[in-house]
Structure 1
Amino acid sequence: MSPIRIEALTSSPVVWTALSEMLVETVAHGGSVSFMHPLPLAAAEMFWRDSLASAGRGERIVLGAFDGDDLIGTVTLLLDLPPNQPHRAEIAKMITRVSHRHRGVATALLREAERLAIAHRRWLLVLDTAEDEGAAGLYERMGFNLTGVIPDYAFKPHGGLTGTLIYWKRLQEGAPA
C-alpha cells in the first residue's frame, strides 16, 4: 500500500460511484452505518449525492482516503448544527474498504477531521458507534471519552438490534470546561 492521502471530496459521478460502492460493501459486511442489507447501489448513490451537495454548501466536510487513485476510506465532519452549538461538530460515516482495514486508514481520516474541526473553530467532537462490531476501540485509542450506551438503538444491516455508544472529545486545551 502506498502512503495514504487524505483530501476533501467534491461532487462528481466518479466520486459518487466510488463512495457508493464502498458503502454497499460496508453494509454487506455488517457495518452499522444507517442502512440495511441489501443496499441498492442507486440508494447509496443518492445518499452520497445529497451528502456532497451539503458539503458544497459548507454544511459538512466529506473526506476521502486514497491509496494511489483508489478511494479506500471516508469520514464526514458535520458542521451544520443548531445556533447554540457553534463550538462543536459531529463525526459520521467512518468507512474503510474491507481490503484496507487495520492499516491506519481510519486513524488518518480521524486525525484530518480533527484538524479541520479546529480550523473551523470546532473544539468539541461527538460521535456514536455501534455497540456490536463498531469502532469503539479506535475511538478510545484516539482519545474519545465514552459517555454511555443507548440499548437497542438501531437495527444491524442483517437484522437484530444493537446499542450505540456515545463518545466525545475536546480538541483544544483552554476550551471551556
Structure 2
Amino acid sequence: MNPKLEIRPLAAAPETRTQLAGMLVETVAQGGSVGFMHPLTLEAAAAFWDGALAAASRGERMILGGWNGPQLIGTVTLILNTPPNQPHRAEIAKMMTRPQWRGQGVASALLREAEALAVQNGRTMLVLDTASDEGAAGLYESAGYTFAGELPDYALKPHGGLTGTRLYWKRLEESER
C-alpha cells in the first residue's frame, strides 16, 4: 500500500474528531505510549481530541493530519504554547500512524511538515520525547534529532509496566527556514 498522502492542518469537525478518536484508541490498543492506558474508550479519546482541537483553534498548537483519500492515516501535533522565556521553541507530540500504514513514510512526511510549520511560526528549536520501549527513536534519529538523555520508569505502558522516555531536540537550520 502506497498512500496518496495529503497533509493538512486539522480543525474541529465531526468526521475528523471521529477518525482522530479511532486512531488514538487503535494506537493505544497496539501498545503505543501516547499518554493513555488500554482499554481506552472512544468517548475518552474523543474528549481528548475535543480539547486538543480547541487549543488548535486558539493558536496554541497545530494538529496535522495525513490523509489517504477520506481516511486519516496519521497525525502529529506541534505544540506552540510555550512559556514567555521560550518563544523560540515548540514541541512535537502525539505522533501516530495507523498500524497498517507504518513503514511507508507517513510519519516522516508529517514530521517534515511540522518542522516547516514550526519555522513559519518563528520556532528554531524543537523538542520531543518517545517511549524507550517500542517508541519512535529510529524515526527521530533518522530525521536529525539529537538524543539528549533517557528518564527511566517515566510512564506506564498502555498495557501495564513501566517504560522510560527518550528525550530529543533539533535546531532548525537555515535550509529549513
Aligned length: 174
Task: State the distance in 1 between where 2:82 and 2:14 align.
Answer: 28
Match of 1:27 in 2: 28
TM-superposed CA distance for 1:98, in Å, is: 0.6
TM-score when normalising by structure 2: 0.97
Whether 1:126 aligns to 2:127 is yes
Letter in 2 for 1:144: Y
Match of 2:70 in 1: 69
Task: State the distance in 2 between where 1:145 and 1:83 align.
Answer: 24
Whether 1:93 aligns to 2:71 is no
Task: State the distance in 2 between where 1:141 and 1:155 align.
Answer: 26
TM-superposed CA distance for 1:21, in Å, is: 0.2
Identity over aligned pairs, percent: 63
Match of 1:50 in 2: 51
Structure 1: which 5+ runs fail to align? none
Task: State the distance in 1 between where 2:34 and 2:6 align.
Answer: 23
TM-superposed CA distance for 1:173, in Å, is: 3.9
Letter in 2 for 1:73: G
- Counting only pairs closer than 5 Å after superposition, residues 89-168 of structure 1 correspond to structure 2 as 89-168=90-169
Match of 1:169 in 2: 170
TM-superposed CA distance for 1:97, in Å, is: 0.3
TM-superposed CA distance for 1:3, in Å, is: 2.1
Match of 2:61 in 1: 60
Runs of 4+ aligned structure 1 residues displaced above 2 Å come to none
Match of 2:42 in 1: 41
Write the deviation string for residues 74-127 of structure 1: whole angstroms up to 9, x where unpaired.
000000000000000000000000110000000000000000000000010000
Task: State the distance in 2 between where 1:13 and 1:167 align.
Answer: 34
SS at structure 1 position matched to 2:92: strand
Write the deviation string for residues 140-172 of structure 1: whole angstroms up to 9, x where unpaired.
000000000000000000000000000000002
TM-score when normalising by structure 1: 0.97
Match of 2:13 in 1: 12
Task: State the distance in 1 between where 2:43 and 2:114 align.
Answer: 27
